[in-house]
Every structure is written in structure tokens, then in C-alpha cells.
Amino acid sequence: MQELAEACGGEVVGEPRTRIHGVGTLEHAVTGELTFLTNSLYRDQLQGTRASAVILGPEDRDATQLPRIVSANPYACYALVAQRLFPLPEVVPGIHPSAVIDPAAQVSHEASIGPHTTVGSGAIIGPGVVIGPGCSVGERVVLEAGARLYPRVVIYPDCRIGPRSILHAGVVIGADGFGMARGAEGWIKIPQVGRVIIGADVEIGANTTVDRGAIEDTVIEDGVKLDNQIQIAHNCRVGAHTVIAGCTGISGSTRIGRNCRIGGGVGMVGHLEICDGVTVSGFSLITKSITRPGVYTSSIPSQPHRQWMETLANLRALPQWTQKLKMLEAQLKKNSKEEE
């Protein structure tokens, strides 16, 4: 356990030679596993846990007699410990015989390319890159050192993936943005000639899509974490270390600042500016730029159907009530002047 504590900068209290081979929840961990406590709501479960050791904060230092790792940030400590216990598989360099590599592509001898993958002309595949089965890497794509593509990732031409970034199964990078102009006889497609530039240590969840820019680039900065099934439209920019939960849709040319937290199912209309340090609650609809850090919410909680219908009726009548209120205010001002 001492080695694990050193991995996360925590302090060992109790037997430092406790052997740990896995992790588990407070409720279901067994002997040999390490658990963690980050929420006081689960403190009662700490007393009955069968784990061999626990990670917890300074305020819970004496809440158990189990061997423990005390950390100012127990959840981050747990993440680092879990990484140590469950490292990514080592890269086994080589190109599968069924992969199709264009002769004009540059592939590091330290990269691993899986079966039925295609790599286009002019692509650059750096050292330690892992490309899973069935991926498509387009012309002039750059995959920097240590990038990892899980099965069936598609990267369109000219995009760039930064070092150590992870793209999960089904991710599509660089598809055309939704650019159309209305013509006399229908919609005219606008060529999307920008790229997608993804920074270092980015992680993108399964089936998420990031569209290429119409003219300039779509940019995902360093350390961004995107959940599954997110849509990021053309010419967006997501600031460093921002996290976005699943099923969120970001419309074109929206700029999201650094260190933001965007909940699941959020919708953002296009051409917005979201400043650094903003938190948006899940299922919110953002229609205006946000210029001050803080927590923003726009959803209406669920309620019984009949009550919702009454609320909806009141909302529909709101313009009428607003007009009546203005008339009353005007009448009050008039009466006040007449009395003077």
C-alpha cells in the first residue's frame, strides 16, 4: 500500500505493507481490495466494508481502523491509484497484415496498427501510437506520440490528434460541418475546408463527433474530456481542461473557456462565448453568452402531469399578465401624479 500512497501523494495510516490487488466500492469490496470515501453520505458504509484498505480525506482520518491513505483529494488519489493497479496494455509495435497503409504515409516503427485499418497518403503516425481494428485514418492526418484509437474510429483528412490523446470506439473527427446556403432552387453545400485540431491528453468518448471547421479550424485544447455521444459543430473551440458530459450538443462557432464543466444533455446555440470556470447543469439550454464564472441552470424539474399542464397554461398566459401589469403600473403612476 505504501507504493500506492506514493503514487497519489497520500499519507499512509496503519500497516503500510497491506497488499492490494484491486479496487471496489465501500459496499462490495472484498479482502485485498482498496475502496474510497469521498462523500459523507456513505460514511455509514465505511463501518461495514470488507475492503483491506481505504482512501479518505483528513476529516475522516479516524473514522476507521482499517489501513488507509489520507489525501486532501481522495477521489483524485483513487484515480491515480487505479491507474497504477490497472495500467493500459503495453504497446506491441507492428502492423497487422490486413491493414492498408499508403506508401506515402509515415508510420513509426514503435506504433501498433490493428487489423483492417486504413492509413491515407501523407499521414504521420508517431511513436507509441495504437490504432485499433477497423479504423480509418485519412490523408495527411497526424497522430502524435502515444495517441490511442479504439476500434472503428474515423479521422478525416488533415486533422491532428495530440500526444497521449484517447479516442474511443466510433468517434468521428473531421466530418463536414453543417454548412448550407439557401439558393433559389434549394440548399447549396458550403465546402468545409478547415480542420480539427485536438491537443494533448484529450479523451473523447464513444460515438462522439467533432466537425471540421468551415474555413478556420475546430479546436479541442489540452486536457479536455468529452463523454459519449457528444456533437461539437464546426469552428467551435473548447478550452483546456474543460469536461463535457454525454449527449450534449454544441452548435457552430461557440467558444467554451478553460476549466468549464458542462452537464449531460446540454444544448448550446451557435456563436456563443462561455468564459472560463463556468458550470452548466445537465439538460440546460444556453442561448446567450456567459461572461462570469459560476453555475448556470435553465431546466424545469419534472412534476405530475396535471400540475405541469397547469404550469404550461400559466406560462402561455404570461404575456397577457405582463401586459395587464404594465397597464396597472401606468395607471398607478398617473393616479400618483394627479394626487400631487
Q: What is the tens place of the pLDDT at every residue in 142-186?
A: 999 999 999 999 999 999 999 999 999 999 999 999 999 999 999
Residue 301 domain-assigned (yes or no): no
Provide φ and ψ at 55, rounded to 5°: -100, 130
Through-space distance between the first and last CA atoms of the chain, rounded to whole angstroms: 82
Residue 271 domain-assigned (yes or no): yes
Q: Show which of 85, 115, 150 is a domain's final residue.
A: 85
Q: Show which of 85, 111, 130 is a domain's final residue.
A: 85
> From CA 174, how far away is CA 157, in angstroms rounded?
7
One domain, residues 132 and 269:
yes
Q: What whole-number percentage of the chain has pLDDT above 70?
A: 100
Residue 270 domain-assigned (yes or no): yes
pLDDT band for 41, please (50, 70, 90 cuts).
Answer: confident
Domain CATH for 234: 2.160.10.10
> From CA 321, how far away is CA 267, in angstroms rounded?
29
- Which residues participate in catalysis according to the annotation? 234
One domain, residues 292 and 310:
no
> From CA 251, how far away is CA 181, in angstroms rounded?
17
One domain, residues 312 and 181:
no
One domain, residues 272 and 148:
yes
In terms of Cβ atoms closer than 10 Å to its own Cβ (0-12, 13-18, 19+), residue 337 is: exposed
Q: Show which of 23, 51, 85 is a domain's final residue.
A: 85
Residue 219's beta-bridge partner residues? 197, 237
Q: What is the pLDDT of residue 161?
A: 98
Q: Which of 78, 48, 46, 76 is nearest to 61 (CA)?
A: 46
One domain, residues 67 and 128:
no
Q: Can you give the residue range of the structural domain that contains 333? A: 306-340
The pTM score is 0.91
One domain, residues 257 and 120:
yes
> What total number of domains does the chain contain?
3
One domain, residues 239 and 269:
yes
The upper half-sphere exposure of residue 47, i.e. CA atoms within 13 Å in the direction of its Cβ, equals 4
Q: The dihedral of CA 272, 277, 282, 284: what is its sign? A: negative
| pLDDT tens-digit map of 248-281 | 999 999 999 999 999 999 999 999 999 999 999 9
Q: What is the pLDDT of residue 340?
A: 67
Q: What is the pLDDT of residue 1?
A: 87
Residue 264's beta-bridge partner residues? none
One domain, residues 65 and 153:
no
Residue 328 domain-assigned (yes or no): yes
One domain, residues 285 and 208:
yes
One domain, residues 324 and 177:
no
Domain CATH for 48: 3.40.1390.10
Residue 65 domain-assigned (yes or no): yes
One domain, residues 291 and 312:
no
| Dihedral, CA of residue 142, residue 147, residue 153 and residue 157, to nearest 10 | -10
Question: Contact, 181 vs 163, CB < 8 A?
Answer: no
Q: What is the mean pLDDT of residues 66-84?
A: 96
Contacts of 198 (CB under 8 A, 6+ apart): 159, 160, 161, 162, 165, 173, 204, 210, 220
One domain, residues 174 and 25:
no
